[in-house]
Amino acid sequence: MRVRRIAVAPQVLEFASDDPIAARALAALYHAAPASAAEPTLRYALRRAPEGDGWIATSPSRPDFGPAALGDAWSFLEWRATEDLLNAPARDAVFLHAGGADIGGRLVLIVGESGAGKSTLVAHLLLRGHRMLGDDVVRFAPAGGAFSAVGRSLKLEANSLREMPLIATRCANGVVGTLLAAGCYYVSPAAIRRGWEAAGGRPRAVVLLDPADRAAAPGVVRTSEGEAAVYVTQKVLGEAAGGAPRQEDLTVRLLDVLADVTAYRALGGEPAAVAAALEREVAR
Amino acid sequence: MTEAGVLTRPVARPDLLLRRVGSEWVLYDAARAKAHVLNLTAAVIWTYCDGSFERSAIADAIVRDVPGLDITRIRDDIDDVLRRFADEGLLR
């Protein structure tokens, strides 16, 4: 049995398989997260179906998935691992459904619905030399009021790689930490560049991504800080679930942490152009 | 206690939390898990909703605090804001 344990503090995730092909695929799951020797809090496994036809994926609190193609079984595990993190009981830290990057020493939180383009924007920022907090999951420690990075692999649509030849080349060469699964490339930030991880802290800006804005003129514009904070506390934190008391404490803490943010709305244009515009705005 | 649908001596629900975010304010209603964005005028009006100020007194106080404001305009704003507070269930 090949077992890989990683720390996504305070959680410890274990990925296990008795198959070398599956083990290589599992290496791309949260590839950039550090190894851990601690007892796992969340366990996942990928194994061949008994008849040898397809793969079975096992995760906590969900029925087994499969038999299915390896890419689909892997995608199930990736989905479950992220959902389990978002729903993990709060201890020292909780996980929020958002992306983020450090732009010129200022932490920028990137929020928007699934499919709004968080991962693509974060990938472009990473390629432009900025360190990242995450593309879809970031850690928030209420006590210190700090956000910090999660080593989840970026989920990128195949067509978005056309604008990112460096990442496309990494994927084409099968660099460890990259994987094509169910129509999407999963790319470890560590496979793109060393020193990918942004230092933790308080965000100085929040960027709202709304697919409805894609038809607008290219650019990044200032928007209501209050609306952005409400989005983060209602939508981003809401998706992280949790009981009412916890939700209330976290909401108040988040509002305090977001007191001095500047809020932006990313408009239309190519993601690379949006990344460049965001860079200019945040640097002002 | 009401005049034209607006509370004359409005009283804010004590369980709501007001927090500044950037140049705006967010009023968080934990019981309904809902947050409301307020501009500066609405946030100032909120701070006078303790049951001891009539609408006209709120207008006078704001005009005292912020010189140059038009009292008629402020009274209209107060009516609008208090109606919104009442509609959203933010007042007792």
Question: How would DSSP label each residue in B21-52?
Answer: ETTEEEEEEGGGTEEEEE-HHHHHHHHT-BSS
Residue A248 predicted with pLDDT over 50: yes
Q: What is the mean pLDDT of chain A?
A: 90
Task: Assess if residue B6 is contained within a domain.
Answer: no
**Structural domain boundaries enclosing A55:** 2-87
- For residues A92-123, one letter each, b for 16 or more C-beta atoms within 10 angstroms of the residue's C-beta and e for the rest, the string is ebbbbbbbbbbbeebbbbbbbeeebbbbbbbb
Strands A146-148 and A138-141, how do they pair? antiparallel
Per-residue pLDDT tens digits for B74-91: 889 999 999 999 999 999
Percent of chain A surpassing pLDDT 90: 69
Q: Is residue A223 part of a domain?
A: yes
- Residue A94 identity: V
Domain span holding position B83: 14-87
pLDDT at residue B67 is higher than 80: no
CB contact under 8 A, A259 and B34: no
Query: Which chain B residue is nearest to residue A261, measuring alpha carbons?
Result: B22
Question: In this structure, are A43 and A126 located in the same domain?
Answer: no
pLDDT for position A207: 96
> Which site among A230, A250, A264 would you substitute to test the B interface, given the most B Cβ atoms closer than 10 Å to its Cβ?
A230
Residue to mutate among A248, A250, A252, with most B CBs inside 10 A, is: A248
Could you give the percent of chain A with pLDDT greater than 70?
A: 96
Flag whether pLDDT at A281 surpasses 60.
yes
Are residues A253 and A131 part of one domain?
A: yes
Looking at the 3D structure of chain B, how many domains does it have?
1
What is the reported pLDDT for B3?
52
pLDDT, position A6: 96
* Closest-CA distance of chain A to residue B2, Å: 30
User: Is A165 part of any domain?
Assistant: no
User: Helix or strand or coil: residue A105?
Assistant: coil
A244 at B interface, C-beta within 8 A: yes
The pLDDT-based confidence of A182 (bands split at 50, 70, 90) is: confident
A249 touches chain B (CB under 8 A): no
| Statement to judge: residues A81 and A104 lie in one domain | no
- What is the predicted pLDDT for the residue at A240? 61
For the entire predicted model, the pTM comes to: 0.89
